[in-house]
Structure 1
Amino acid sequence: MSAAEAQSASAVPGAHRQGGEHEFRGVRTVDHFFTVPLRPAEPDGEQIEVFAREYGSSGRSREQHEQLPWLLFFQGGPGFPGNRWTGLSGWAKAATEHFRVLMLDQRGTGLSTPVEAKSLASRGDAAAQAEYLSHFRQDSIVADAEAIRRALGVAQWSLFGQSFGGWCSLAYLSTAPEALREVLLTGGLAPLHGSPDRVYRATFRRIEARNREYFGWYPEDRATVNRIADHLRQVPEYLPRGDRLTVERFQMLGMYLGGNTRVDALHYLLEKAFITTPDGDRLSDWFLAQLPAYLDFAGNPLYATIHESIYAQGEASDWSAWRVLQENPQFSPDADEVLLTGEMIYPWLFEQDPSLQPLAEVAHILAGKTDWPRLFDREVLARNSVPVAAAVYADDVFVDHDLSLETAAAVRGTQTWVTPDFHHDGIADDGEAIFRRLLTMARDAAPES
């Protein structure tokens, strides 16, 4: 057993300790640390630490704050920590009017026994690392949430799930609905069954349509994207860390297309792509410096490594996005009219991104894993009695509208608000209005006590 394993194994299961308390700019925070089992089926086995930060308004007294019900936020991802709020605006403002908000760092993120390639090395060989990471999907995150709820002495709480946070919320509804008062979802109605392939076939269609829409708004960017791709085929260009920028990595800037505001930011990025040098036109240092935000996984290897597994139930993902890409030659990096892709993860990324190279064998093992447990209980969801209100974004390129409505129909009592006004990052656009609308929908649908 490694030193890290020995230390975590000695932790007391279910332990809760409270950390610092702070007040600033109208915000009150309390830090919480919980000890939970790495493998939920082995409560007395190896333990990890999970962190969550409680948020409220400092305009209330401590006693008034503690009388409010709890809301647990599940962040999008997988592999992203909870938000670090520096003030109460957007959905934070709306939520803290009604709740004590618990912002969870999902296991492996933030302060919750974080996962990086250098920390995973202590687990042993690639097989051991893959086994460890197999416990970082939504089922394990929900088990953590239940342990936290019990440790805090909460009878019931409400959930707010954004994107992958909706995956977690549906898994929670499948396993412990009695713990939930209401569930609010934004861009987070996960497909309940089927191969990951059906997800990527749908989202490739969505992202292609979004490309066409974008180039309709900014026709000059059509030529710029082709110019950049042609340049990268002929001239070596390198990201600030020293790794080469390839056409296929450049195409991943399609992540920008998943938002209303980000889509315009993509235009502002592309308009400053080139600079004239004594050796001819080159990609500008400014342009290259912006790209790691979307193309570098050094800060979040967990996202890339377990991404497809969040769709896998009883079968291997087998690099689903890469296989489905072969059905869509219009997305080839060699295409005459280069299209940008979305949040898909491909096997070559573990060769081209230096931060992911140590995890290449681990990722291949996880992609080939065939015994993933079921994440959702469709029978339990079919008789659900917990109020669910979901914002479904009509043109979402990451969570398909049609698959979302299929899930909504399968989860009894789900109220949907289908809107073309927002994209996947809707809560960043107008989170306050979205949160208020969903909470009202859920409360109106709740049975009278």
Structure 2
Amino acid sequence: MSISCRQPGVVLTDRVFTVPLDHDAPDGESIELYAREVVASDKADRDLPWLLYLQGGPGFGANRFIGRQAWLGRALEEYRVLLLDQRGTGRSTPANRQTLPLRGGPAEQAAYLTHFRADAIVRDCEAIRPEVTGGAPWTVLGQSFGGFCTVTYLSTAPEGLATALITGGLPSPDAHADDVYRAAFPRVERKVAAHYDRYPQDVQRARRIADHLLTHDVVLPNGYRLTVEAFQSLGILLGSGDGSHRLHYLLEDAFVRTPGGTALSDAFQEQVQSHLSYAGHPLYALVHEACYAQDARPTAWSAERVRAEFPRFDAAQALAGDEPLLFTGESIHPWMFDCDPALRPLRETAALLAAHTGWTPLYDPARLAANEVPVAAAVYHDDMYVDTAHALRTARAIRGLRTWVTDEFEHDGVRAGGPRVLDRLLALARHEV
């Protein structure tokens, strides 16, 4: 039975669906999907078209909005919205260190997780669409990884789409993970340089923290082992509109004097563990590189291998000289499965996924070239998470896709400027501008 409740200006209804774990074996094991239906209070009894939101990630449940936050208010002017917790996330059947041992050992866990990429997510959407819309196509808004899923949707089931809207999420249909990271590290270095230009005092602050971590064994309150590499990964903050400012405030009061000498403050450690822990989204670490796998080649810890091609990111080398410490960005490394207590039990599972050679293509270039679905995409200039050159090449490969290229926002534009971003994309898709 569906349960509804009210927040300011909206009516929320819980929706639960059952889908096959493997859509090619529909009579086999099933899993649950959770979604939250949202409609404006004054339109709750109206027959409205549907908008499906696909969250970024992978591994994050849909936004838990309060009222009409971010882009949602604009969407509710004309749609019923379905906020889907993609398989394995949020209130859908979870996949984490607590639940995955139910599958068996690492080999069984890894085999299970091969079903958690964009292709399976799109088939989930098509499985539930008839129940939600009565069979009518819906508009899809895909943010970041949700945009990757939307391009898979255009490749495999365009008949289910009335319109496709993508924000910061145009993937490269033919790039291997190595290509993605070779483009990423120079981009991250530019973001770090921009941060230090804005906050030059952070050069010495970051070096001091890194030097401390090289000479001390620091374990955060939740059991996370804070290494220099883990500290550098805080650079992931630099991909959001306010991330540089948040990183600055984090660095400015890292140390405190104690009877035993200078130490990293409890407040600093508490904030760092909240940024670095994967307890709330372990799938992000487990299947992140698999999202870029499209042929028989393994990803083989791509980010770790490619990082070695960019020695300027080596902390010890930077500290031995007078170079600024470089932070890193959106990348997954094997050491994370040693540092993070939420990932440690899944270390062998992750290694098996990194070695997996059975990946299949996620995109169909021929079908994208013949696309007939109205598509609009926001491409953020020098997006730290998604390479702009890759995104624009993909945009040219999808027939009829209209782009809005802007440097007004970072990767989180749909959150920071949601109503205006969504309004612009809808106008583009409808050829109103």
Do the two structures share a fold, i.e. TM-score over 0.5?
Answer: yes
Contact 2:117–2:290, Cα closer than 8 Å, also in 1: yes
TM-aligned CA deviation for residue 359 of structure 1: 0.7
1:209 equivalent in alignment to 2:190: yes
Q: Distance in 2 between matches of 1:356 and 1:212?
A: 31
TM-aligned CA deviation for residue 223 of structure 1: 0.6
1:240 equivalent in alignment to 2:227: no
1:35 equivalent in alignment to 2:25: no
Contact 2:223–2:341, Cα closer than 8 Å, also in 1: no
Contact 2:223–2:340, Cα closer than 8 Å, also in 1: no
Q: Distance in 2 between matches of 1:195 and 1:242?
A: 34
**Equivalent position of 1:89 in the other structure:** 69
Q: Distance in 1 between matches of 2:119 and 2:113?
A: 12
Please give the secondary structure, in 2, of the residue aligned with 1:59: helix
Please give the secondary structure, in 2, of the residue aligned with 1:117: coil
**Equivalent position of 1:58 in the other structure:** 41
Please give the secondary structure, in 2, of the residue aligned with 1:155: coil
**Equivalent position of 1:105 in the other structure:** 85
Deviations 1:327-383 (A, max 9, x none): 001111313232100110001111121211111111111111111011001110011
1:283 equivalent in alignment to 2:264: yes
1:169 equivalent in alignment to 2:150: yes
TM-aligned CA deviation for residue 238 of structure 1: 2.1
Contact 1:255–1:294, Cα closer than 8 Å, also in 2: no
Please give the secondary structure, in 2, of the residue aligned with 1:291: helix
Q: List runs of 5+ in structure 1 lacking aligned partners.
A: 1-17
Contact 1:252–1:342, Cα closer than 8 Å, also in 2: yes
Contact 2:224–2:273, Cα closer than 8 Å, also in 1: no
Which of 129, 137, 150 is matched with 2:130 structurally? 150
1:69 equivalent in alignment to 2:49: yes
**Equivalent position of 1:304 in the other structure:** 285
1:435 equivalent in alignment to 2:416: no
1:322 equivalent in alignment to 2:304: yes
Q: Distance in 2 between matches of 1:222 and 1:129?
A: 42
| % identical equivalent positions | 50
The 5-angstrom pairing of residues 417-436 of structure 1 reads 417-436=404-423
Q: Distance in 1 between matches of 2:41 and 2:414?
A: 23
TM-aligned CA deviation for residue 278 of structure 1: 2.1
Q: Distance in 1 between matches of 2:275 and 2:237?
A: 8
- Which 4+ residue blocks in structure 1 deviate beyond 6 angstroms? none
Which of 80, 84, 97 is matched with 1:117 structurally? 97
The 5-angstrom pairing of residues 340-351 of structure 1 reads 340-351=327-338
Please give the secondary structure, in 2, of the residue aligned with 1:298: coil
Which of 394, 397, 401 is matched with 1:410 structurally? 397
Aligned residues: 426
Q: Distance in 2 between matches of 1:96 and 1:343?
A: 32
Q: Distance in 1 between matches of 2:224 and 2:369?
A: 49
Deviations 1:218-258 (A, max 9, x none): 00001100010001111222211133211000011001100
Deviations 1:135-176 (A, max 9, x none): 000000000000010222131100000000001000100111
Q: Does the C-alpha gap of structure 1 residues 59 and 73 become closer, same or farther in structure 2, counting only changes over 3 Å? A: same
Contact 2:376–2:402, Cα closer than 8 Å, also in 1: yes
Instruction: Please report the RMSD computed on the Cα atoms of aligned residues, expressed in angstroms.
Output: 1.2
Please give the secondary structure, in 1, of the residue aligned with 2:175: coil
Contact 2:224–2:277, Cα closer than 8 Å, also in 1: no
Deviations 1:88-143 (A, max 9, x none): 03201001111100000000001110111111001011111000000000000000
Contact 1:307–1:345, Cα closer than 8 Å, also in 2: yes
Q: Distance in 2 between matches of 1:125 and 1:313?
A: 26
- The AA in structure 2 aligned to 1:31 is D
1:222 equivalent in alignment to 2:222: no
Please give the secondary structure, in 2, of the residue aligned with 1:19: coil
TM-aligned CA deviation for residue 277 of structure 1: 1.6
**Equivalent position of 1:252 in the other structure:** 233
- The AA in structure 2 aligned to 1:320 is S
Please give the secondary structure, in 2, of the residue aligned with 1:321: helix
Contact 1:387–1:445, Cα closer than 8 Å, also in 2: no
Q: Distance in 2 between matches of 1:219 and 1:279?
A: 30
Q: Distance in 1 between matches of 2:40 and 2:273?
A: 35
- The AA in structure 1 aligned to 2:306 is V
Q: Distance in 1 between matches of 2:251 and 2:335?
A: 24
Q: Distance in 2 between matches of 1:360 and 1:171?
A: 29
Deviations 1:289-339 (A, max 9, x none): 001222111121111011100000112111110010000011113132321
TM-score, normalising length: structure 2: 0.96
The 5-angstrom pairing of residues 303-382 of structure 1 reads 303-314=284-295, 315-336=297-318, 337-382=324-369
Q: List runs of 5+ in structure 2 lacking aligned partners.
A: 319-323
Please give the secondary structure, in 1, of the residue aligned with 2:325: coil
Contact 1:19–1:32, Cα closer than 8 Å, also in 2: yes
TM-aligned CA deviation for residue 85 of structure 1: 1.3
Contact 1:261–1:429, Cα closer than 8 Å, also in 2: no
Contact 1:189–1:404, Cα closer than 8 Å, also in 2: yes
Greater displacement, 292-301 / 307-316: 292-301
**Equivalent position of 1:5 in the other structure:** none
Contact 1:252–1:294, Cα closer than 8 Å, also in 2: no
Q: Distance in 2 between matches of 1:406 and 1:167?
A: 14
Please give the secondary structure, in 2, of the residue aligned with 1:116: coil
TM-aligned CA deviation for residue 445 of structure 1: 7.2
Q: Distance in 2 between matches of 1:120 and 1:397?
A: 32
TM-score, normalising length: structure 1: 0.93
Q: Distance in 1 between matches of 2:358 and 2:216?
A: 44
Deviations 1:40-89 (A, max 9, x none): 111111111111110111122x322xx11000000000000011111103
